[in-house]
Structure 1
Amino acid sequence: MGVTILTQFPTENKTGTQVLEMLSKRILALGSSPQGHFLVDCETYTSVPQLGHQRTVHVLHNSEQPATVFSLLETGTKTIPLATDGLFDLLMMKMSHFYTSKKLTKAECKGPRYEVGDFCVKLGTVTVSSNFKGVLVEVEYRPCVVPALCWDLLKEFIQGFLGLSAPLNPPNYLQNRMQDVYSPIDTIHQYLEHFTVFRKSLGVRP
């Protein structure tokens, strides 16, 4: 796993399918080859009032790491990341008396993935509670694990097929972690950041 940048692409009144078709043509024109599909999903749980201070647990799955369940516990003052195996899903089900699932906030991002040279590109439509909300583009540069060392290269590559819609600066989450070693949980943080924005646009508290 290398460094991943996640960015939103404007839909401009187009459907998700139309945007993905357009972006797929652009990335194929760069000489990429289709490599299946991907899926990232997120379900959010909130603690019951009897536990005192409210806690929120975001549980995410990424098809790139099929044996891992990612969770982010928000305590109000800090966020605690955790990577576990599939038994964590069963644990959350058994803790239903303490944490309740917020079904209206279930988010998914899925679509085709492509490989071109040292890059992996994923084009995903985002739905929140089955409502289409937007398109996310994930670009991974595999040979590097420190964002600061490959940000300029990533930016140039992304500009090659996103044009003016490409980000000029690193994602908010990464801006304070540019010198750190990148890991899969950093990708999960970026997805949650975007899912939270999409949820708010539905008027639903994340």
Structure 2
Amino acid sequence: MGVTVLLQYPIAENKTGPQTADQLIKRIGALGALQSGQFLVDCETYSSVPSMGGPPRTVHVLHNSEQPAAVFALLESPGPPPKTVPLVADGLFDLLMIKMGSIYQNKKQIRMEARGARFELGDFFIKIGTVTMGQNFKGVLVEVEYRPCSIPANCWDLLREFMQSFLGSVVQNSPPPYFQIQNKLNEVYQPLDTIQQYLDHFSSYRKVAGL
């Protein structure tokens, strides 16, 4: 796996979400990208029941079609200090969460999904997906992965130049916040880092919806 950047693409007032996604697909098609399938990232959120006592805790359980055998879970605890504990497990973790229904309750109304088309262009994977919460459209996410590199600090300039070629001024010259953290740590990029970016964007859509 390479290094991935995930960005929200704004929806113009006179366009719908699918129209915006189609426009981006045409742009990368003009660059020579070829479709290589579909992708899906989903997120279920569970909250601790009041009878547990103590501060409320939240568990986000995510799946990524790129890693079909893995289940990603992030436990958020308000602290102090607040912290997030990540976990990568197999499919049995979904069954475990069902069995823990008396402790953690699923907030089905805020289930999030990002799904769409996956493309390849040279050393890049590009995914253009529409985001829904329940049945409601929330936005368009663009994921770009540069495969030959595994250290974010070493490839931001190349990623930025490539993304600006079809996303324009939406891509800032400075790295996004999560990318900046990775650069400081100088760690090898992992699939969990992509999941964290999706969760960050899903959370921002929920905040806009007041959830």
Query: TM-score, normalising length from structure 2?
Result: 0.95
SS in 2 for 1:176: helix
Residue deviations 1:25-56, cap 9 Å, x none? 10011111100100000010000112222110
Query: Could you report, residue by residue, the CA deviation over 1:147-174 in whole angstroms, capped at 9, with x for unpaired residues?
Result: 0000000000000000111233222222
Q: Secondary structure at the match of 1:58?
A: strand
Q: What is the correspondence of 1:1-206 to structure 2 with a 5 Å cutoff?
A: 1-13=1-13, 14-52=15-53, 53-76=55-78, 77-178=82-183, 179-204=186-211
Distance 2:24 2:50 in 1: 45
- Number of aligned residue pairs: give it: 204
Report if aligned partners of 1:73, 1:79 keep a CA contact under 8 Å in 2: yes
Contact 1:126 1:135 (C-alpha < 8 Å) held by counterparts: yes
Letter in 1 for 2:60: H
**Alignment-mate amino acid for residue 153 of structure 2:** A
Alignment gaps of 5+ in structure 2: none
SS at match of 1:175: helix
Residue 202 of structure 1 aligns to which amino acid in structure 2?
A
Give 3-state SS (helix, strand or coil) of 2:140's partner: strand
The C-alpha deviation readout for 1:105-147, integer Å capped at 9, x for no partner, is 1000000010000000000000012110100000000000000
Structure 1, unaligned runs of 5 or more: none
TM-score, length basis structure 1: 0.97
Distance 2:2 2:197 in 1: 15
SS state at 2:155 partner: helix
Percent identity over the alignment? 60
Deviation at 1:69, TM superposition (A): 0.3
